[in-house]
Amino acid sequence: MISDICMGVELAGVTFKNPVMVASGTFGSGEEYGEYVDLNRLGAVVTKGVANVPWSGNPTPRIAETCGGMLNAIGLQNPGVEVLCQRDLPFLKQYDTRVIVNVCGRTKEDYCQVVERLAGEAVDMLEINVSCPNVKEGGIAFGQDARALEEITRAVKKYAAQPIILKLSPNVANIGEMARAAEAGGADAISLINTLTGMKIDIHKRAFALANKTGGLSGPAVKPVAVRMVYEASHACTLPVIGMGGIQNAEDAIEFLLAGASAVSVGTANFHNPCVTEEIIKGIEDYLKQYEIQDIQSLIGAVES
């Protein structure tokens, strides 16, 4: 039995006390979950996507349950970067955890403006959301074309004071190509997967379950797709990868680490259990002890071929 295990990981020069983060959009600004989770325990809080100005998002219904998952079409409703800076970041500063701000926009200029505004703030990394399937402009439009992805990465990087993570969409033919495009544009890390575009129809009302017709599929139903894409992306580029997609427990999280992720994000599972992140951290610690693994970093990409 080993006594002192090391849960710390490092991405693009930023150290994290453990590899467990929360997925943007599922955890608000962190404040909403503060009553349920000791935020000090988390590797990082990733805030909900924020734009240069407030966005109202999509009409309701915005969510629909599906077998082993859920569809959402929130449409990146957010109060704008100024509110984040004045209210949410000071709140998060009280905690001993890393802060990653997810950035969204309709145009390249929107993204750059937000990133520039955050330059002097207490933010450890920026996650650039080029993969939201629920907005008409921006979002996924930048994330489904390798050239557009490389271009926006390069543009944002110019204004970014913090390391940038490009959040990639699974709604592409070749995830490796997108990972390489992010790297070529100057990204410091990539995160994946965002949600898979899906649809649900209510047969009794003969209507779409979501007002937006389509929504992003998340939850355990997408996990095998996510693990495969994390594996492919981590082999296609040299950037560190934050893996996510259907993680519900420590076993799922470890699977992503073995596939090549340096850290993981927990999203939809927070809805099933608001305390799940702390349980996952504890479960990973137990796994390391069980297999007498001193350093979690030795698990990263350690799946045997």
Active site residues: 132
Q: Residues 58, 73: contact at Cβ < 8 Å?
A: yes
- What type of residue is 114? V
15 interacts with other proteins by CB under 8 A: no
Which of 40, 60, 94, 294 binds other proteins (CB under 8 A)? It is: 60
Nearest C-alpha neighbor of 104 from the set 83, 79, 127, 136: 127
Which of 61, 176, 186, 301 binds other proteins (CB under 8 A)? It is: 61
Q: Residues 67, 209: contact at Cβ < 8 Å?
A: no
Chain length of the chain: 305
> How many chain residues bind other proteins (CB under 8 A)?
41
* Listed ranges 11-19, 35-43, 103-111, 296-304: which one lies at the site for other proteins (CB under 8 A): 35-43
301 interacts with other proteins by CB under 8 A: no
223 interacts with other proteins by CB under 8 A: no
When the beta carbons of 109 and 202 are compared against other proteins, the nearer one is 202
Site string for other proteins, 164-203 (x = CB under 8 A): ----------------------------------------
When the beta carbons of 68 and 224 are compared against other proteins, the nearer one is 68
When the beta carbons of 185 and 219 are compared against other proteins, the nearer one is 219
Site string for other proteins, 246-285 (x = CB under 8 A): ----------------------xxxxxxxx----------
Longest dimension (CA), the chain: 59
Which residues of the shown chain bind other proteins in the complex (CB under 8 A)?
25-28, 32-33, 35-38, 48, 54-57, 60-65, 67-70, 72, 74, 77, 79-80, 83, 219-220, 268-275
